[in-house]
Amino acid sequence: MDFDIKVLQDPIPVDKISELYEKTYFISYFQSGANSWNSVKYTEWYLGAYHPDRRFFYSAWKGDQLIATMMGTPVKLKLENEIELNALSLGLTATLPEFQRQGIQKALLTRMIEDATKAGIDFIYGFPEKGFGGNELLKDHFNFKRFLKNQQHYIKVMGDYGRKILHEYRGLNIVLAKLLKLYAGIPKNVLQGGKIREGKESDMKSAVDIINSYQKRMILSKIWTDERIKYEFEYTSRLKTFDPPWGYHWKVWERDGKILATLFIRFETINFKNGIAPATLMSETCFAEETTVEERAGVIAHIVRWIRDEHPKIFIVQTTQPQYEIKTFKKLKFIDDTSTYEFLVLILSSKGEELNRYEKYKEFFIPYHR
């Protein structure tokens, strides 16, 4: 079929993008829980917060109809705290149902690979969810290599109320809902001194230092800057303009005058076939290197209790990047969300070949884009 490929330029057609995602992502995930892609305001916020660099925003058009997107977000990473790599995170690949299986996503990805190679990108990576076709496209048609079978997302079910929502809204069978009782308790781990408070501008350098310290602890980790964390805080804070319970918090743990943890927390609503329920998403949840697992667990447990007290209708707390704090989340009985996200990579440069030092990457700290 005939269609035109365009790089989306500012001002991007947010209304058309939202309409596309409502007809694809929103419907596809309606059973298990969909983000609010049916809202133009949410779509505009999400693209602004997590996709600010739009050099690799590709779209397919049939006349003036937007029929598909594929978005790549540039990310600077460090391998073994030694080699800086320019990566492209693949996300938001969607095609209207009536145009699927006609080679559109192949054409978009071919264009992305060509442009990324010319731009000096070392590799493209993605975390396609198994069962939606993305992993087959990347592996079977473009020879993406799998470095991890499942980049798990962990959730804490918020007590009996959380189990009730999963049973009634998501359709979790009653047997599994009862089994969840083993993991759905609110953690009681105690904060090991100090206080947790809202972050402020003077904390940003300490937060960046903590986040970047994972470059020494993880094989592969993102490089953060003061500018990036400031942008993240300012743009993501726009969630506060949404109706409650939507919102955003940047929390820090301070003890003896020193910042020891930084946590980005946002509140969204999740849409199910049988209802709508608010959830908490924890993205960068980072701790100073000298802190122990017990201390980290105390901080997160404190946050979970705060969420329960301030927002009793929250049904789950979900991590979006758990691979660098697996022990901490498991200690608190966070559980796998049961979906499977493969870590797939296409190497584009000789520098990118350095990734092949390892057959698998069990722990890393890199952005995940939907």
Whether residue 58 contacts residue 112, with contact meaning beta carbons closer than 8 Å, is answered with: yes
Is the bond preceding residue 312 a cis peptide, omega within 30 degrees?
Answer: no
- pLDDT range class, residue 292, cuts 50, 70, 90: very high
Once rounded to an integer, what is the mean pLDDT over residues 12-25? 94
What average pLDDT is seen over the chain? 91
Question: pLDDT band at residue 174, thresholds of 50, 70 and 90?
Answer: low
Distance CA 244, CA 64 (A): 36
CATH code given to domain 4-152+342-357: 3.40.630.30
Pair 323, 363: CB distance under 8 Å: yes
More confident residue, 368 or 42: 42
- Verify cis geometry, omega within 30 degrees of 0, for the bond prior to 187: no
How far apart (Å, rounded) are the C-alpha atoms in residues 163 and 277?
12
**CB-CB contact of 203 with 195 (8 Å):** no
Question: Residue 22's pLDDT band (boundaries 50, 70, 90)?
Answer: very high
Find tokens 């003077």 and name the residue.
202
Greater confidence (335 vs 269) lies with 269
Per-residue pLDDT averaged across 37-58, rounded? 92
Q: Give me the pLDDT at residue 210, please.
A: 97
More confident residue, 10 or 313: 313
- Alpha carbon distance 128, 133 (integer Å): 8
* pLDDT tens track for 25-41: 888 877 778 889 899 99
At 51, is the pLDDT very low, low, confident or very high (cuts 50, 70, 90)? Answer: confident
Contacts of 25 (CB under 8 A, 6+ apart): 34, 35, 37, 94, 370
Helices (H), 22-118: 27-28, 40-50, 104-118
| Burial class of residue 111, CB neighbours in 10 A (0-12, 13-18, 19+) | middle
User: Is the pLDDT at 340 greater than 90, yes or no?
Assistant: no
User: Computed from CA positions of residues 293, 296, 300, 302, in that sequence, does the dihedral angle turn out positive or negative?
Assistant: positive
Q: Which amino acid is at 219?
A: I
pLDDT mean over 335-342: 81
- The pLDDT score that the predictor gives to residue 75 is 95
Overall average pLDDT of the 156-175 stretch: 83
Residue-by-residue DSSP string for 173-228: -HHHHHHGGGT-SPP-PPP-SSEEEE--GGGHHHHHHHHHTHHHHSSEEEPP-HHH
Distance, in Å, from the CA atom of 17 to the CA atom of 358, rounded to the nearest integer, reads: 38
pLDDT of residue 316: 93
Give yes or no on whether 4-152+342-357 and 154-336 have one common fold: yes
Mean pLDDT over 289-296 rounds to: 97
Pull the structure tokens for residue 318. Answer: 């979900």
Helix (H) or strand (E) holding 295: helix 293-310
pLDDT at residue 150 in the model: 77
Which pLDDT does position 217 carry in this prediction? 94
Give 328-338 pLDDT, tens digit per residue: 999 999 988 77
Domain boundaries, the chain: 4-152+342-357, 154-336
Whether 177 shows a pLDDT value over 70: the answer reads: no
**What pLDDT shows up at residue 192?**
97
In one-letter notation, the amino acid at residue 76 is K
- How much of the chain exceeds pLDDT 70, in percent? 96
In contact, 36 and 42? CB cutoff 8 Å: yes
Q: Is the pLDDT of residue 324 over 90?
A: no
Q: Confirm if 185 and 334 have CB atoms less than 8 A apart.
A: no
d(CA 2, CA 105) in angstroms, rounded, equals: 13
pLDDT digits (tens, 9 = 90+) for 194-252: 999 999 999 999 999 999 999 999 999 999 999 988 888 888 889 989 998 899 999 99
State how far the Cα of 216 lies from the Cα of 209, in Å rounded to an integer.
11
Instruction: Give residue 275's region: left, alpha or beta (phi > 0; psi -120 to 50).
Output: left
Q: What is the pLDDT of residue 351?
A: 97
154-336 CATH choice from 3.90.1140.10, 3.30.360.10, 3.40.630.30, 3.40.50.300: 3.40.630.30
